[in-house]
């Protein structure tokens, strides 16, 4: 095994799909009981592509299949049908993990280890040399701001601290693709802001981020594209800015105009002139969109939502 932390991107046969990092094709997951009877249809024929360098958000109410999707993409679950592909390879292949970082819903870490031991342990799972590990562990502890608590056992950590160390372990291998399951839960407002900044910074470094959350404000702030899931079905998929744009409405902001001038504006606008301070479409908040989709889905189950697409 090579000592390198980051595996080189592998050459792919199909040049066109080069920048597709994550792909779900007709991905379906049905939970069955012991006798093979269907219990829950957790995910239904999901088609999804996440491209290199974007921040992709999976949205949905509780039990909508977000975490199932992530687990399928990680190979923690096997699809009932369809395929989950990571870096163009099957998600159950272990090799993909070399270039991947995962922060689970709750930080499932060994409580009897301290921060340094935890990161060192995960570093060893990447076959890093002792020197690399020392350096990397130091960097990451600095990054998540746990220098003061690095010798304490994780069982003494608060939720937010556990979250931070969880993030650090997800970044130990300097991954190309980072999957974050509810990254901001348990963090205080400052921690949340830091987490969001970090996600954006990772994107700027050319990394791909897949996050799932039901904290809509967070998603709206950082995601480039989102998919909205409801009861295991994909309801909406597209760029955040275009999804939230209200197409047939224009909004104008202006200041310092007299009454006449304001009256005149209408003419000016009618003749496409004037000094506009801002002009554009008003946006919904993501919350409005989300609630609308959920309402529509409840009214007409099984249909793709009719909100405008990318």
Partner 1 sequence: MVLEHEIPGMLTWVILNLKGFLAILVVLTVGGMFLGFLRSAISQGPGEAFYAVARTVFTAGYELGSFSLRRMLAMAWLAFKESWRRRVFVVLIVFVAILMFARWFLDAGSDNPTRLFISFVMTATNFLMLTLALFLSSFSLPTDIKNRTIYTIVTKPVRAWEIILGRIVGFTAIGTVLLAIMAVCSYVFVVRGVVHSHEVAEELEEVLDDDGELIGWQGRTTLDSGHRHSFTLNLEGVGQTNLVQGHWHQVERQEQDGKVRVEVGSPVGMLLARVPRYGKLRFLDRTGVPGEPISVGYEWTYRGYYEGGTLAGAIWEFDGITREEYPDGLPLEMAIRVFRTYKGEIERGIMGSLVVRNPNPAKRVESAPIYFEAVEFSPQRRLIPTTFEPLESDGSDQQTLDLFDDLVDEGRIEILVRCEERAQYFGVAQADMYLRAGDNSFLANFSKGYVGIWLQMVLVTCFGVVFSSILSAAVAMIATLATIVLGFFTDNILELAHSVFSGDKSVAGGGPLEAAIRVPNQMNLTRKIENPVMPFIEAVDQGIMAIMWCAAKLIPDYSKFSNISYVANGYDIPFDLWAQQCAVTLIYLLVITCIGYFLLKTREIAA
Quick check: 284 and 246 in contact, CB under 8 A?
yes
Does 95 participate in binding partner 1 (rule CB under 8 A)?
Answer: yes
Does 102 bind partner 1 (CB under 8 A)? Our answer is yes
Backbone angles phi, psi at 164, to 5 degrees: -65, -45
Q: Which stretch binds partner 1 (CB under 8 A): 12-20, 92-100, 273-281, 294-302?
A: 92-100
Closest Cα partner for 100 from 6, 176, 21? 176
86/68 Cα distance (integer angstroms)? 15
The residue within the footprint of partner 1, chosen from 40, 76, 215, 217 (CB under 8 A), is 76
Find the binder of partner 1 among 22, 50, 58, 77 (CB under 8 A): 77
**Residue 138 beta carbon to partner 1: minimum distance, rounded to whole angstroms:** 19
Out of 47, 83, 89, 93, the only residue in the binding site for partner 1 (CB under 8 A) is 93
- Is the Cβ of residue 119 or residue 229 nearer to partner 1 in the bound state? 119
**Strand, coil or helix: what is 217?**
helix
Nearest to 182 by CA among 218, 207, 208: 218
Choosing from 41, 121, 224, 292, the residue that interacts with partner 1 (CB under 8 A) is: 121
Per-residue binder mask for partner 1 (CB under 8 A), 17-46, x = binder = --------------x----x----------
Q: How far is the CB of 108 from partner 1 (least distance, A)?
A: 4
Q: What minimum distance in Å lies between the beta carbon of 188 and partner 1?
A: 24
Contact window for partner 1 (CB under 8 A) among 124-132, 188-196, 238-246, 276-284? 124-132
In order of 198, 251, 260, 262, the CA distances from 278 in angstroms are 30, 8, 20, 15
Distance CA 90, CA 36 (A): 25
Nearer to partner 1, 126 or 157 (CB): 126
Instruction: For residue 109, state whether it binds partner 1 (rule: CB under 8 A).
Output: yes
Q: Which helix (H) or strand (E) holds 192?
A: helix 189-204
How many whole angstroms separate alpha carbon 285 and alpha carbon 173?
36
Structure tokens at 114: 């301290």
How big is the site for partner 1, counted in residues (CB under 8 A)?
A: 34
Residue 94 interacts with partner 1 (CB under 8 A): yes or no = yes
Note whether 125 binds partner 1 by CB under 8 A: yes
The answer to whether 230 touches 64, Cβ cutoff 8 Å, is yes
Pairing of strands 251-253, 278-280: antiparallel
Task: Candidates 122-130, 190-198, 248-256, 282-290: pick the segment binding partner 1 (CB under 8 A).
Answer: 122-130
Edge-to-edge strand ranges of the sheet holding 20-32? 38-51, 20-32, 81-86, 89-90
User: Rounded to whole angstroms, how far apart are CA atoms 56 and 72?
Assistant: 16
What tokens appear for 254 in the block? 């202006």
* Interactions with partner 1, residue window 142-171 (CB under 8 A): 169
87 counts as binding partner 1 under rule CB under 8 A: no
Site residues (vs partner 1, CB under 8 A): 1, 31, 36, 71, 74-78, 80-81, 93-95, 97-98, 100, 102, 104, 106-110, 112-113, 121-122, 124-127, 169, 173
């Amino acid at each position: 095994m090579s000592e390198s932390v980051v595996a080189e991107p592998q050459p792919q046969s199909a040049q066109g799909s080069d920048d597709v990092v994550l792909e779900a094709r007709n991905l379906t997951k049905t939970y069955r009981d012991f006798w093979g009877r269907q219990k829950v249809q957790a995910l239904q024929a999901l088609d999804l592509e996440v491209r290199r360098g974007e921040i992709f958000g999976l949205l949905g109410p509780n039990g909508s299949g977000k975490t199932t999707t992530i687990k399928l993409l990680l190979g923690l679950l096997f699809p009932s049908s369809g395929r989950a592909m990571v870096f163009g390879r099957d998600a159950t292949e272990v090799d993909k993990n070399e270039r991947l970082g995962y922060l689970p819903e709750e930080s499932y870490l060994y409580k009897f280890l301290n921060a340094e031991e935890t990161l060192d342990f995960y570093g060893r799972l990447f076959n890093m040399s002792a020197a690399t590990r020392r350096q990397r562990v130091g960097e990451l502890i600095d990054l998540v701001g746990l220098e003061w608590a690095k010798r304490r056992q994780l069982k003494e950590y608060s939720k937010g601290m556990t979250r931070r160390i969880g993030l650090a372990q997800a970044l130990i291998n300097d991954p190309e693709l980072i999957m974050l399951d509810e990254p901001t839960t348990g963090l205080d407002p400052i921690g949340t802001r830091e987490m969001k900044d970090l996600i954006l910074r990772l994107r700027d470094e050319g990394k791909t981020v897949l996050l799932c959350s039901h904290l809509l404000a967070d998603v709206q702030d950082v995601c480039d594209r989102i998919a909205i899931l409801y009861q295991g079905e994909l309801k909406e998929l597209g760029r955040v800015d275009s999804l939230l744009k209200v197409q047939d409405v224009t909004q104008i902001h202006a200041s310092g105009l007299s009454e006449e001038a304001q009256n005149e504006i209408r003419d000016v606008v009618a003749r496409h002139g004037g000094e506009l301070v801002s002009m554009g479409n008003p946006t919904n908040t993501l919350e409005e969109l989300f609630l609308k989709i959920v309402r529509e889905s409840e009214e007409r189950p099984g249909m793709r939502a009719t909100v405008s697409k990318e």
